[in-house]
Structure 1
Amino acid sequence: RRRELRKLSNILRLGIKELHSLRRDVVLLIFIGWAFSLGIYVVGTGFSVELHNAAIAIVDEDQSQLSHRLRQAFLPPEFKTPEVIPFNRIDPGLDTREYSFVLVIPDDFEKDVLAGNQPAIQVNIDATAVMQAGIGANYIANIIAQELERFGAEQSTSSTTPLKLVTRYAFNPNLTSSWFSSVMEIINNVTMLTVVLTGAAFIREREHGTLEHLLVMPVTPFEIMMAKVWANGLVIICAVAFALWVMVGKVLSVPIAGSVPLFLSGVALYLFFASALGILLGTIARSMPQFGLLFILIILPMMLLSGGQTPVESQPQVLQDVMQFVPSTQFVSFAQAILYRGAGFDIVWPGFAKVTIAGLILFLLAALRFRRSILTVR
């Protein structure tokens, strides 16, 4: 029992040493502070997939009641108030980026609609901004379709249609992109910073010569590794809790559907895997530039394919089967289930178990590699 207490004391003291070492690394502290505060705010507010204040103009050659209704249907905040222009202003307006969208309503448009014909509305789009062009085209198509449906219902002598389609968006009814991007930025930062912190700490000790000092002390490789895991993990968990409660909840006003303590428990399990991965890469790399190259080759693809950026279902089947065994995929899955859909432990426990098993296996591999690196140093 005394031996176990001594191990715990060594892990505690070594972890405190890690915290002191991190406290002296001003650049890394600034990076952590930015990633879990202003970085999340910038991602949540600076990049949006919605349409905001798009400049639109309309060439109304019909001058009918229906065309007037279409002109009034384009409202803020998606579009600016439409400007009615002549036909010869289309090309100059698009060339100078005065307008992003220009609609041309042809002659006898309302008459053709009432006659049951299929008149065409020309939509000219400035596609230099590809994402805005695609989203705006869908907005315009939906607005025109809704107005034509309402106009047809008002002009029809029949009663209400037998079928009415109602679309309901679950968990994000207004399709606000910041609800997704801000939370996913936290999830991605957990992977990135945990690996960087643990790997950089190991390489920093090797470069500064403190690893040799540790080897002459009565401590084991297990104690050194666990100290790095709990110390760096504590920093990340505190940063995640701050980001969720302050930046996401208060500043960006993003609702959190599930239990934050349950999510932080999942983060703690995932940190064990990410820390072991950082230590493993730190034992392989001999310098920070080499560690950066390994990070690009391993961590960035793992983050991109985990489901945080693109759905796993959109990947090739072989890649889907492989990514199911990668803990980052399970982490993104149960994190989204808890924070977005309010899932409880009874739903996310399989993901917790998979991440824990993968973390233990990788920790053993990192420990074996660490022992070999110690022998090399000696």
Structure 2
Amino acid sequence: MRLASVFRLGVKELFGLVRDPMLLVLIIYAFTVSIYTASNSTPETLNRAAIAIVDEDQSPISSRIITAFYPPYFVIPRIIPLSEVDPRMDAGLDTFALDIPPNFQRDVLAGRSPTIQLNIDATRISQAFTGGGYVQSIVSGEVNEFVNRYRGNEPVPVDLVLRARFNPQLDKGWFGSINNVISSITMLSIILTGAALIREREHGTIEHLLVMPVTPVEIMLSKIWSMGFVVVLASVFSLVFIVQGLLDVPIEGSFTLFVVGTVLQVFAMTCMGIFLATVAGSMPQFGLLLMLVLIPLQLLSGGTTPRESMPQIIQTIMLAAPNTHFVILSQAVLFRGAGLSVVWPQLAALFALGAIFFYFALKRFRQFLR
């Protein structure tokens, strides 16, 4: 194997990438706009939920309840008559509809424990799941303060002190932005190398390579280092200028250690991309294979849902996926400031899995060139 040939072939791949505007747009979008929108979206948090209130009591206590709902968790409540509750819920205009019954204040002061009806549109699952608890807490707090005639916290026998580590402000954007960087690294590593190989086949340049004094190992390594270089460079740019600069998300751990893990992850994922490209005969088939591979990698690797919440068999199977170890490593380094003594098992697993994927990809690539 000649390193000069690997370098020149890799430079050729970079020139080919520059001449592909769609892939360039995908790279720029994945490491800029996508990360910014993921940081500012709130899929699992109650944010500006639509709520309507039926006030059949028209009392001071009902007024307190109405004014307790305000942004950013809720929009300003819309006061509606009882007859509009069902039509508005059917039309999807309200996520929550709160019905305060007549004589509510009188029954509260008399100690009769009256009932308030809360209607929830459960099709909006992300808001409905947490919104019911928010509404119950707000209503209970306002009623207790009204009955006690003062605004304050009741003494409790145990004092719970909250200590939020690694994200003291509980800013959801911190998790969304960094998790999206991790996902983009995995996605682009597979797409760029697979597209580079399929582009050779569709343009007929693969035959030119076969008559040149280069080996399959040199051809494969050239695609790995060139496309991997692009992904690593884009991820570093994204972390420095988008995550840390634009979004002001702090990076706790060693930047160098994360880059080392990224290189190993990119090596494994680019080998997987080459393997999938040799299986697929065209770009549409490659796209279908990506759907079958990327979706489980993203959902089951622990980036979206903690691995501890998954069935044990899924946790065991996903240990064979490099993305699982990369997510553990990235979150430990970037969120918790972990060092090499903590993440070396993940680095070793990425190296071992990358070597295995390289072997199978090279074996398939040699068959592909015949």
Superposition TM-score, scaled by structure 1 size: 0.86
Residue 68 of structure 1: how far off its partner (Å): 3.8
Distance in 2 (alpha carbons) for counterparts of 1:108 and 1:66: 11
TM alignment of 1:354-373, pairs within 5 A: 354-373=349-368
Q: Does 1:211 align with 2:213?
A: no
Q: What whole-Å deviation, never above 9, does each CA across 1:265-284 have from its counterpart, x for those lacking one?
A: 21111111011111222223
Q: What whole-Å deviation, never above 9, does each CA across 1:126-145 have from its counterpart, x for those lacking one?
A: 44433323332222123234
| 2:297 aligned residue | 302
Asked whether the 8 Å contact 1:58–1:105 carries over to 2, the reply is yes
Distance in 1 (alpha carbons) for counterparts of 2:181 and 2:52: 40
Asked whether the 8 Å contact 1:48–1:177 carries over to 2, the reply is no
| 1:197 aligned residue | 192
Letter in 2 for 1:182: S
Report how many aligned residue pairs link the two structures.
369
TM alignment of 1:2-151, pairs within 5 A: 7-46=2-41, 48-63=43-58, 65-95=60-90, 99-107=94-102, 109-110=104-105, 113=108, 118-148=113-143, 150=145
| 1:275 aligned residue | 270
Q: Does 1:339 align with 2:334?
A: yes
Asked whether the 8 Å contact 1:50–1:176 carries over to 2, the reply is no
Residue 308 of structure 1: how far off its partner (Å): 2.0
Distance in 2 (alpha carbons) for counterparts of 1:169 and 1:140: 24
SS in 2 for 1:59: strand
Which of 242, 249, 254 matches 2:244? Answer: 249
SS in 2 for 1:324: helix
| 1:180 aligned residue | 175
| 2:255 aligned residue | 260
Q: What whole-Å deviation, never above 9, does each CA across 1:308-357 have from its counterpart, x for those lacking one?
A: 23332333221211112221111111112222222222211111110111
Letter in 1 for 2:355: L
Structure 1 unaligned residues grouped into runs of 5+ = 1-5
Letter in 1 for 2:14: L
Q: What whole-Å deviation, never above 9, does each CA across 1:186-224 have from its counterpart, x for those lacking one?
A: 211211111111122122223333223223333222222
Distance in 2 (alpha carbons) for counterparts of 1:284 and 1:23: 25
Asked whether the 8 Å contact 2:95–2:124 carries over to 1, the reply is no
SS in 1 for 2:320: coil
Aligned-residue sequence identity (percent) comes to 48
Asked whether the 8 Å contact 1:62–1:108 carries over to 2, the reply is yes
What is the Cα-based RMSD across aligned positions, in Å?
2.9
Asked whether the 8 Å contact 1:49–1:177 carries over to 2, the reply is no
Residue 63 of structure 1: how far off its partner (Å): 4.9
Asked whether the 8 Å contact 1:281–1:291 carries over to 2, the reply is yes
Distance in 2 (alpha carbons) for counterparts of 1:247 and 1:129: 30
Residue 248 of structure 1: how far off its partner (Å): 2.3
Structure 2 unaligned residues grouped into runs of 5+ = none
Distance in 2 (alpha carbons) for counterparts of 1:57 and 1:285: 53
Shift in CA distance, 353/154, structure 1 to aligned 2, threshold 3 Å: farther
Distance in 2 (alpha carbons) for counterparts of 1:301 and 1:271: 18
Distance in 2 (alpha carbons) for counterparts of 1:288 and 1:277: 15
Letter in 2 for 1:198: T
Q: Which moved more, 1:286-295 or 1:107-116?
A: 107-116
SS in 1 for 2:252: coil
Shift in CA distance, 215/55, structure 1 to aligned 2, threshold 3 Å: closer
Shift in CA distance, 82/290, structure 1 to aligned 2, threshold 3 Å: closer
Asked whether the 8 Å contact 1:48–1:178 carries over to 2, the reply is no
Distance in 2 (alpha carbons) for counterparts of 1:186 and 1:94: 38
SS in 1 for 2:248: coil
Distance in 2 (alpha carbons) for counterparts of 1:311 and 1:279: 29
Q: What whole-Å deviation, never above 9, does each CA across 1:197-254 have from its counterpart, x for those lacking one?
A: 1122122223333223223333222222221111111100111112222222233333
Letter in 1 for 2:131: G
Letter in 1 for 2:350: V
Distance in 1 (alpha carbons) for counterparts of 2:33 and 2:223: 26
Distance in 1 (alpha carbons) for counterparts of 2:279 and 2:82: 66
SS in 1 for 2:135: helix
